[in-house]
Chains A and B, each alone.
Chain A
Amino acid sequence: MHVVVLLKQVLDPEIPQKAFDVDPVRKVPKVERAPQVLSIFDGNALELALRLREARGDATITALTLGVERADEVLRKALALTCDAAVRVGADPEALDSRQKARLLAAAIRTLEPPDLVLAGRQAADWEAGQVGAMVAEELSLPCVPFVSRVEAAEDPLTVRQQLESGYAVVRLGGPSVCTVTNDETNVLRAAKVKDVMAAGRKPLRVIAPEEIGGISGLGPAVELLALELPAKRTGAEMVDAGSAEESARALARRLRELGAI
C-alpha cells in the first residue's frame, strides 16, 4: 500500500501577534524572519499515515510538499518521523493559487508509484482555504472524503471515520482515494525519536521542477487577491462590574441585550 501525504510549511501560527506583518504591495505575509512550521492539520494527516502503516505493516509513505528550499525542513521532519520517501515540487506557494498548486501536486503524484491513499490536512494554517486536497482529488480523478479523523479498519477495504457536524460517519473506501484530515485526540503528531532525526539527515530528498511535470501552462489563477491588510487596531473595552458575580452576570446580560448581541 502506498500512502502519499501532502505537507505544507506555514508561518508559525504561534508567533506573537506583534511579530506578524503583511506586505500590502506584494500581498503576502512577511515571512523572511518568522519561524516556519508544518501546518497543523498536515501533521494530523501525517500521524494518521504513520498509524495506518503501523496497523498494516505493508504500507510505504511518501511525504510531498510544494515550496521553496526552506520547505525541505518539513520533509526532513517527515523523514525523521520515518516516512519512506520525501519529494518537493520546487515552486513558491505564495505565487500560486489553490488550483495551480493542486495541478502541480497531482502531476508530481503521477510520477510516483500510484498511491492507494492521498492524505492532506483539511486546510493549511496560513490561508485556511481548504481547497488543495479536494482539487488534487479532482485532478487525479479520485474520490475525496473530507474531514477524516482516523482509520477505523486498516485492512482492505480501508474504512475511515469522517467527522460530521453532529457526529461521524464511517466510510468504506472503494479504491484509491484522497482524504482530507481533521484533528482528533488520536492523530496528534508524535515527536520524532532522536536516532530517527539523525538518520533523516542522510536520507535522500527529491526535488521536482514544475517544468519537469508539465508546469501550469495555460492555467491562470482562478482567484485574484485584491488586497491584504492587517485588521485595524481598536482599543476600548467596557468593564462590567456590579459587585457580586450574580449582579455582574445580570448587568452583562442587560448590556449585551442593549447592544443587540443577544
Chain B
Amino acid sequence: MDFRLSPEQKMILETVRSFVQSELMPLEAEMQEAELAGHGNEYPDLETVDRLQAKAREFGLWGITTPEEYGGTDLGTQMAALISMELAHCLVPFQLGGYADNILFHANEEQKKEYLLPTIEGQRRSCFAITEPTAGSDATNIRMSAVQEPGGDWILNGEKIFITRGNEADFAIVFAVTDKEKGARGGITGFLVDRSMGWTSRYIPTMGSWGPARLSFQNVRVPARNVLGEVGQGFPLAMQWIGNGRVLIPARAVGQAERLLQIGLDYAEQRVAFGHPIADYQAIQWMLADSAIEINATRLLVMHAAWKQDEGLDNRHEASIAKYAGAQTANRVADRVVQIHGGMGYTKELPIERLYRDVRLYRIYEGTDEIQKRSIARNLLRGSVRIGEWD
C-alpha cells in the first residue's frame, strides 16, 4: 500500500499549482468585489472561464479525463481527483476544458462529429437534463414525453428543472418517456436536442454560485437521428452520467475544505482575544482538529473510489460514501471556519460566507445525502458489499 504520489503525479500537480497561482488566485479579489457589489454569484462569467480554460490548455491541462483519441490526456480518475483538489484551493469556481459528458461517447459517429467533438473543443456547450419539478431523486418518475410521429421525428413536451449550464448550453442531453408502461425499464430515451429546435431556458436564482436553469419543451421536434443510444435505453445512460460525478465532486469538496481550514488556521493564529491568539484555546483547537480529521478521511475515501475506477472495479459503493463524506466535510468545515472568524466570518468582507453558501449544494445535487445513504445501506442489506473486506 503506497500512499506516496508518483514523480509524474507530483510534477503534474506542480503544473496545476503554477496555473492556480499565476492565473486563478489573482481573480479572488475581483470575485470578492463582485460579491460586495451584489453579483458574486455570476462570477466568473463565461468569457473569463473560456479565457482561463484556454490558458490552462497551454499548460496541457485540457481533457484530463478525455481519451487520447479525442484529443484529451486521459490522466485517469486518481489524477483527475488530485487536480480537482488542487484547483479547489482557489476560491474562484473553475473547471478545466476539453471535457464532454461521459455519455456522449456512446453517440454514433455522426453524432460524435456534431456534438461530442465540438463540446470537447469548447465550441459547443452541453447540459444534462433529467430532473423535473416532480422527479428529482426519484428520476424514474420523469414525465417529459417524447412521441414519435409517422415520419420518424419525435415531439418532446415537458419541463426540466435545476439543469446545470442550462442557460449557457446550445444543446441538451434530454431524457424523456417514450413508453409509459415500461418506465425506467426500457421506456426512457435520451435525446440530443439543439436549442435551435425550440426549447427555452430560464435562470433560477440560488443561494450560491450554482446558477441552474429551468428548461421548457413545448412541441419540440427532434429528428430520429438525434436519439442518443437506443430508444428505450436512456435510463442506464442517465445513471452512468450521474455516477461519473460521484468521485470528482467530493474531490473538489476536499480541496475547498482544505483551503477553508488553512484560512481558519491562519486567522486563529493571528486573532487575539483575552490576551492570547484564539488558537491557544481548546475550543478553537478542536474545531481545527475535527476539520483536519474529516478532511483527511474524506481525501482517502475519494482516492480509494478513484483508484477502484481506474482499476476497472465496481466503485459505486465507495463513490457514494465519498460523495456523502465530501458533502458533509465541506459543510462542517465551512461552518467551523465561519465560527472561528466570529462576526467577520458572517460578513461579505471575507470569502468564507460565500463558500458556506456554496458548499450547501454538495448535500443536494448529483444525488442527495439521503440517496447516497440509501445506496450504501442497500449495498449492505443486499450483501453486494461485505463489511470489513478489502478489495
The residues of A with any CB-CB pair to B shorter than 8 Å are 72-73, 76-77, 80, 190-198, 200-201
Interchain CA distance A192-B58 in the complex, whole Å: 10
Known contacts A191-B18, A194-B73: A77-B60 contact under CB 8 Å: no
A200 to B15: give the CA distance in the assembly, Å: 14
Q: Is the CB of B61 within 8 A of A192?
A: no
In the complex, chain A residues whose CB is within 8 Å of the CB of B73:
194-195, 198
Q: Which listed residue, A72, A73, A76, A194, touches B15 by the CB 8 Å rule?
A: A194
A sample of 10 inter-chain contacts (CB < 8 A) reads A77-B7, A191-B59, A192-B14, A193-B15, A194-B12, A194-B59, A194-B60, A194-B75, A195-B60, A200-B11
Closest partner residue, chain B, to A76 (CB atom): B7
Q: Tell me if A193 and B11 are in contact (CB < 8 A).
A: no
User: Interface 1/0s, chain B 40-70, versus A by CB < 8 A?
Assistant: 0000000000000000001111101000000
A246 to B192: give the CA distance in the assembly, Å: 70
Additional 4 contacts, C-beta under 8 A, given A191-B14, A197-B8: A193-B60, A194-B61, A194-B73, A201-B8
CB distance from A85 to the nearest CB of B (A): 18
How many angstroms between the C-alpha atoms of A193 and B19 in the bound complex? 11
A193 to B73, CA, bound (A): 11
When distances are taken between beta carbons in the complex, the residues of chain B under 8 Å from A194 are 12, 15, 59-62, 64, 73, 75
Most buried by B among A192, A193, A194, A196: A194
The 10 closest A-B pairs by CB, nearest first: A194-B60, A191-B18, A193-B60, A191-B15, A197-B11, A76-B7, A195-B60, A194-B73, A80-B11, A73-B7
Instruction: Determine the distance from Cα of A198 to Cα of B6 in the docked complex, in whole angstroms.
Output: 11
Enumerate chain B residues within 8 angstroms of A198, measured Cβ to Cβ. Answer: 8, 73
Residues of B within 8 A of A (CB): 7-8, 10-12, 14-15, 18-19, 58-62, 64, 73, 75
Q: A246 CA to B386 CA in the complex, in Å?
A: 71
Question: Do the beta carbons of A191 and B7 come within 8 Å of each other?
Answer: no
Q: What B residues does A195 contact at CB under 8 A?
A: 60, 73
CB distance from B222 to the nearest CB of A (A): 38
Contacts of B60 in A (CB 8 A): 193-197
CA distance A194 to B8 in the complex (A): 9
Distance from B3 Cβ to chain A, minimum over Cβ atoms (Å): 13
A250 to B59, CA, bound (A): 51
Chain B residues closer than 8 Å to A192, beta-carbon distance? 11, 14-15
> Which residues from chain A contact B61 at a C-beta distance below 8 Å?
194
Alpha-carbon distance A72/B6, docked complex (angstroms):
12
A195 to B7, CA, bound (A): 14
| Cβ-defined partner of A76 (8 Å) among B11, B58, B62, B75 | B11
Closest-CB distance, B28 to chain A (whole angstroms) = 20
**Within the complex, what minimum Cβ distance (angstroms) separates A158 from chain B?**
28
The distance in angstroms between the C-alpha atoms of A195 and B74, with both chains bound, is: 10
How many whole Å from A119's CB to the nearest CB in chain B? 21
The residues of A that contact B7 with a CB separation of less than 8 Å are 72-73, 76-77, 201
Residues of B with C-beta under 8 A to A191: 14-15, 18-19, 59
Out of B8, B59, B64, B75, which one reaches A193, CB within 8 Å?
B59
Instruction: Chain B residues near A200: list those with CB within 8 A.
Output: 8, 11
Q: How far is the CA of A204 from the CA of B18 in the complex (A)?
A: 26
In angstroms, Cα B158 to Cα A109, docked, is 73
* Complexed CA–CA distance, A191 and B60 (Å): 10
A74 nearest CB neighbor, chain B only: B7
* Contact between B11 and A77, CB atoms less than 8 A apart: yes
A192 CB to nearest B CB, Å? 6
Q: How far is the CA of A77 from the CA of B14 in the complex (A)?
A: 10
Whole-angstrom distance from the CB of B225 to the nearest CB of chain A? 35
A194: min CB distance to chain B, Å: 3
Q: Give the CA-CA distance A200 to B19 in the complex, in Å.
A: 20
Give chain B nearest CB distance to A81 CB in angstroms: 9
CB of A66, distance to nearest CB on chain B (Å) = 19
Closest residue of A by beta carbon distance from B63: A194
Chain B residues whose C-beta falls within 8 Å of the C-beta of A76 in the assembled complex? 7-8, 11
Name the CB-closest residue of B to A195: B60
Question: Which of B15, B61, B62 has the most A CB atoms < 10 Å from its CB?
Answer: B15
A80 surroundings in chain B (CB, below 8 A) = 11
Expressed in whole angstroms, the Cα–Cα distance for A80 and B8 within the complex equals 9
CA A136 to CA B201, docked complex, whole Å? 69
- Name which of A76, A192, A200 has the most chain B CB atoms within 10 A of its CB: A192
Q: Which of A80, A191, A192, A198 has the most CB of B within 10 A?
A: A191
Instruction: Kindly provide the distance from the CB of A215 to the nearest chain B CB, expressed in whole angstroms.
Output: 29
B318 to chain A, nearest CB (A): 26
Q: CB-CB < 8 A to A197: which residues of B? A: 8, 11-12, 15, 60
> Which residues of chain A are within 8 angstroms of B11 by Cβ–Cβ distance?
76-77, 80, 192, 197, 200
